[in-house]
Amino acid sequence: MKTHLYYFNWQLQLTLYGSILDDLEKMDQEHDIYFLSCNGILKPCWSNRDARDSACKRCKFNQKSGISGIRRKVHNLKIEEFVNPQEIEDIFQNQNFKYDTVEDIKLIRYKGIRIGYGALSSYISWTRNREPIIDDKFKIYFNKLLKNEILLKEAIDRVLEAIKPEVITIFNGRTADVRPVFETALQNGIFLRGVENIMPRLTEFRKVVFENVLPHSIQWHTRRINEH
């Protein structure tokens, strides 16, 4: 029996959540499934960039409704079970991150995780602004993303210690609320499956799984093209 951890936090995006649930339900019955998600502590996140309480409530409803329909045993875990907000605040303050340029941000790490890249990926996707003015207003919001990545890193380390998964499945992997899980799996030599959706046509979704790599890896795609 393999211990298999699923991590997903975008339950407001139903086509993506559906792909994860489909993947989970079709997974080998020899896998003991744990499902880790957020109960509101990771605000702002990819699906709720404005940290709205109403969006959190809908996300929790979708989470519960989706999992309840799965026809197999799933152990549900919440990030909140593994971390304390005040502890994370203290850790964040002790980091004393300083950054004035995008290049500075790219160098920000926590426990070997490139949290600067994760936060920047989310920010640029939301704003389409690759050269933001890094003033006090920017830093107030951006620091929330960095703090959330520290929180997620601390949580995933403790989850790994508690259940010792042999496989981890995520969706995508590049954004602030996923990247710490992606990079932690690679750090620990745990086999990682990154689920992604593609659209061959406007009315069709297909699920693709990337193993131990981001879907955006230029090196991986170059090698795949050459192989074909």
Using the predicted structure, report yes or no on whether residue 201 has a pLDDT greater than 90.
no
Token pair recorded at residue 185: 């799996």
Average pLDDT over all residues of the chain: 95
E-assigned strand segments in 69-115: 74-78
pLDDT at 134: 96
Strand partners, 198: 206
143 with 97: CB under 8 angstroms? yes
Strands 167-171 and 204-211: unpaired
pLDDT at 206: 86
Closest CA to 10 of 50, 56, 79: 56
Q: How far is CA 41 from the centre of its chain?
A: 13
Mean pLDDT (whole number) for 18-33: 96
pLDDT at 125: 94
Closest CA to 152 of 68, 103, 43, 79: 79
Q: Name the pLDDT band for 198 (thresholds 50, 70, 90).
A: confident
pLDDT digits (tens, 9 = 90+) for 53-103: 999 999 999 999 999 999 999 999 999 999 999 999 999 999 999 999 999
Give the helix/strand (H/E) hosting 31: strand 31-37
Q: How many helices (H) and strands (E) does the chain have?
A: 8, 6
In angstroms, rounded to a whole number, what is the distance separating the alpha carbons of residues 12 and 59?
A: 5
pLDDT digits (tens, 9 = 90+) for 126-144: 999 999 999 999 999 999 9
Q: Name the pLDDT band for 49 (thresholds 50, 70, 90).
A: very high
Q: Name the pLDDT band for 6 (thresholds 50, 70, 90).
A: very high
Using the predicted structure, report yes or no on whether residue 202 has a pLDDT greater than 90.
no
Neighbouring residues of 205: CB distance < 8 A, sequence distance ≥ 6? 15, 19, 197, 198, 199
Give the helix/strand (H/E) hosting 2: strand 2-7
12: three-class secondary structure by DSSP: coil
In angstroms, rounded to a whole number, what is the distance separating the alpha carbons of residues 39 and 30?
A: 28
Regarding pTM above 0.75, the answer is yes
Token pair recorded at residue 12: 């407001």
180 with 115: CB under 8 angstroms? yes
